Structures are given as structure tokens and as C-alpha cells.
């Protein structure tokens, strides 16, 4: 797989951050179209934004540039629906829902938009997703990473009705801890500790989702616990399990884009506890919102360059030290970030030519 131009990635990031449309000449440098790119593509059910981009572009993450999208439009993307046609305007080097030569502004660089055919009814329910929705759906609303401080402050199930060991739907439970006005909660159990491959620091815990509970009555004066009712039970829950607020509904349409600033991350874990990950599997990296990642950020995956013996090198003073050389990191795929925490993010593995391993490098496109 080819590496991307460092200069191109910087130009792309600068254009997006400034909210300025890239000129066709710049887009050509950073976002090359495939030699066999079609003139148009009829959007059908089952398409993804990444798939459509890949039909036209060498690198699907370049989608926003060839649509001329600024940062606000990336965060709140226009919808694309089955039945619409995506056109390749070869003159301007842009993609559009308007046929080249038709409509106001057609053929003029930098002002082509999706908005003339934007739909808002149903909040984009039928819109084409950016990546396979079914793969990441379970990860959008369930807690994945619980920080060390969050775990210490999380309310816990302190007792159950009639001393039941395992709890199911409709059972009454008693919770100790601060609710801060929240009524709907998820129940989780701290799982695998996530450690930074670079520093060894504890980033948090991968949480095991157990189900949901709803507040029935807050603790009254003289009472130590709140009363909850189990709403759903994905796995058996019991005394000692912790609570986290139900997160707001996640954005379902993501526009691929480089991170706001240069990011150099390492793979922390492969979801499910397996050794290797392939196409459409979930992995976590040791960078999050504090590092400039947001939903839709694209990172390139590299095998970490090893340090190996140099049999022909200078052995140094008295031949005491064995000479070594550092090999370059080898790029082999892409990672699409879809959920972001403070220090950890989860991404979907895209277009890999080799398996992903814990410790691999994930960094901004070059």
C-alpha cells in the first residue's frame, strides 16, 4: 500500500481547520482520483461512504476535500441517500450530487455542495452510513472505557431485593453513590485494564456491559441507598457491579478526515481479547479527545519498526557493543475512529494488508 505525502496531509489539515475550500490543484496533490474512476455512481442500499469514496479516490479518507467541505460540515455532514447519483466532475476535480454542467455554480471550483439535495426528514434514518453500521452498532451506546477516576466515583449496586445473587429484568436493586440528577443508567463490570504501550500508565478499564437500570426512588433522609429497577439484562448482574449514565445517542453519520493535529498513537487492545485483528474488527488506541482525535478521524496503521543487529556495522570501542539499526515503520492499513474518550479511542480496522497487533503504530495520514 502506498504512503501518502506528508506535505499533502499538512495542506489538508490546514484547509480543514481554517474552513477554507481546497483548490482543485491542491486536492489533486493530496487526494488523487483513481485512474479508472467512473463518471458517476448510483447510490444503492448497502453502500457506505467509505465504499463510494473508494470507487473514485485512491484514499477514501480524502472524501471531504473533493466535496469541498469545511470543518463545520464535517461535524454535521449532509446526508446522501440511496437513489441519488454521485457525479465526478473531471474539470474541477470534485464529486457532486449535481450533474456537471447543470445548476447554479456547476463547473466552478470550490463551491460544489451536497445541500441542494439535502434531506432532513427522519433525521437521516435512511442515509448512507460512512462505515458498516452493523459492525459498530453495539459499541456506540455501551460504555467501553471507564477511567480510573470515573471508576472510583461510579455508583454501585449495594444490595438486592430479598438478597438475590443474580438480577434480571424487573428486579429491584439498591444503589449507593451520587446520582447527580441522572435517572437512566447502564450497569457494567470493570474488565481488562488498558495500559499505555509507551509509558505503561493505566489509561482505564475496558468495561463489560451488563444491562440497564432506571431510578425508581432517590434515597430519603436516613436511608443510604437509592432504589432502582432492572430494565434490561444483557448478562447477569449482581451486588458490586457499577453504574454509568446512559450516553447520549451517538452520531450515525461520520465523515472521514485527518485529525485536527498530528497524532502518533499505539494500539492498546484488540476487542474480544484476540491476538490479531483484521478487516472490520475493533481496536483501541492510546490517544483520545485530549490529543485531538474526534469521531471520523482516520489514522494510518504501521507495524512498529524493529531494532535489529547490524552485522556489518562498526562494533564501537573494543567491540563491546553490538551494532544495531532501527527499521522504518511499515504502513499496512487504515483505522477509522468512531468513539472517543479522553485518553483512549476505538476504531474500525479498514483496508489492511496484514493483521493488526497490540503495539502497532497508528498516526495521522501522510
Alpha-carbon span 85 to 87, nearest angstrom: 6
Judge whether 57 and 30 are in contact, CB under 8 Å.
Answer: no
305, 240 contact by CB (below 8 A): no
Q: How far is Cα of residue 233 from the mean position of the Cα atoms in its chain?
A: 27
What's residue 128's pLDDT?
80
| Tens-level pLDDT at each residue, the chain (366 residues) | 333 222 233 223 333 223 323 333 333 346 789 999 999 999 998 888 888 888 998 888 887 777 767 666 666 666 788 999 999 988 888 888 888 876 544 433 333 344 334 443 444 567 787 787 777 877 777 767 898 888 999 999 999 988 777 788 899 999 999 999 998 899 999 888 999 988 999 999 988 899 999 999 999 999 999 999 999 988 889 899 999 998 876 655 667 888 889 999 999 999 877 889 998 899 999 999 999 999 889 999 999 777 888 877 666 554 566 788 888 888 999 999 988 998 999 999 988 899 999 999 999 987
Q: What is the 3-state secondary structure (H, E, C) of 263-292?
A: CEEEEEEECCCCCEECCCCEEEECCCHHHC
Closest Cα to residue 128, out of 46, 230, 197? 46
Residue 97, CA atoms < 13 Å, CB-side half-sphere: 15
The H-or-E segment that residue 94 falls in is strand 94-96
- Name, in order, each residue with C-beta under 8 angstroms of 289's C-beta and a sequence gap of 6 or more: 340, 341, 342
Tell me how far apart the alpha carbons of residues 259 and 335 are, in angstroms, rounded to a whole number: 12
| pLDDT at res. 263 | 94
The domains found in the chain, sorted by start residue, are 6-134 (no CATH), 144-245 (no CATH), 264-363 (2.40.10.410)
Proportion of the chain in helix, strand, coil states, percent, rounded to 5: 20, 30, 50
Q: What span, in angstroms and rounded, lies between the C-alpha atoms of 267 and 359?
A: 5
Counting every residue written for the chain, the total comes to 366
From the number of C-beta atoms within 10 Å of its C-beta (0-12, 13-18, 19+), residue 141 rates as middle
- Cβ atoms 356, 293 nearer than 8 A: no
Distance CA 322, CA 291 (A): 37
What DSSP character marks residue 166?
Answer: S
The CA distance from 341 to 360, in Å, is: 20
Main-chain phi, psi angles of 272, to 5 degrees: 100, -5
Number of H helices, E strands in the chain: 7, 20
Amino acid at each position: 500500500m502506498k504512503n501518502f505525502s506528508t506535505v499533502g496531509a499538512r495542506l489538508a489539515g490546514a484547509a480543514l481547520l481554517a474552513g477554507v475550500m481546497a483548490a482543485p490543484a491542491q486536492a489533486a496533490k493530496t487526494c488523487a482520483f483513481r485512474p479508472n474512476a467512473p463518471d458517476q455512481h448510483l447510490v444503492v442500499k448497502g453502500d457506505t461512504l467509505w465504499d463510494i469514496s473508494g470507487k473514485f479516490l485512491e484514499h477514501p479518507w480524502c472524501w471531504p476535500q473533493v466535496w469541498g467541505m469545511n470543518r463545520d460540515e464535517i461535524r454535521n455532514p449532509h446526508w446522501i441517500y440511496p437513489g441519488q447519483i454521485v457525479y465526478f466532475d473531471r474539470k474541477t476535480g470534485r464529486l457532486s450530487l449535481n450533474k456537471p454542467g447543470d445548476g447554479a455554480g456547476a463547473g466552478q471550483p470550490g463551491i460544489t455542495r451536497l445541500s441542494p439535495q439535502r434531506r432532513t426528514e427522519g433525521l437521516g434514518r435512511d442515509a448512507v452510513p460512512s462505515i458498516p453500521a452493523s459492525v459498530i452498532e453495539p459499541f456506540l451506546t455501551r460504555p467501553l472505557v471507564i477511567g480510573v477516576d470515573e471508576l472510583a466515583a461510579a455508583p454501585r449496586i449495594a444490595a438486592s431485593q430479598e438478597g438475590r445473587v443474580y438480577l434480571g429484568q424487573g428486579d429491584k436493586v439498591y444503589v449507593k453513590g451520587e446520582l447527580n440528577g441522572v435517572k437512566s443508567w447502564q450497569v457494567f463490570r470493570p474488565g481488562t485494564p488498558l495500559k499505555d504501550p509507551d509509558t505503561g500508565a493505566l489509561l482505564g478499564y475496558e468495561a463489560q456491559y451488563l444491562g440497564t437500570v432506571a431510578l425508581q426512588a432517590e434515597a430519603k433522609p436516613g436511608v443510604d441507598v437509592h432504589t432502582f429497577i432492572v430494565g434490561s439484562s444483557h448478562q447477569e448482574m449482581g451486588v458490586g457491579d457499577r453504574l454509568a449514565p446512559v450516553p447520549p445517542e451517538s452520531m450515525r453519520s461520520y465523515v472521514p478526515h485527518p485529525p485536527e493535529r498530528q497524532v502518533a498513537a499505539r494500539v492498546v487492545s484488540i476487542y474480544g481479547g484476540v491476538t490479531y485483528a483484521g478487516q472490520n474488527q475493533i481496536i483501541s488506541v492510546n490517544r483520545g479527545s485530549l490529543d485531538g482525535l474526534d469521531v471520523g478521524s482516520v489514522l494510518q496503521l504501521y507495524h512498529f519498526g524493529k531494532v535489529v543487529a547490524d552485522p556489518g556495522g562498526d562494533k564501537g570501542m573494543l567491540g563491546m557493543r553490538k551494532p544495531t539499526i532501527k527499521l522504518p515503520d511499515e504502513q499496512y492499513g487504515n483505522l477509522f475512529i468512531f468513539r472517543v474518550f479522553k485518553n483512549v479511542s476505538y476504531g474500525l480496522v479498514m483496508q489492511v494488508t496484514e493483521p493488526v497487533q497490540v503495539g502497532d503504530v497508528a498516526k495521522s495520514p501522510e
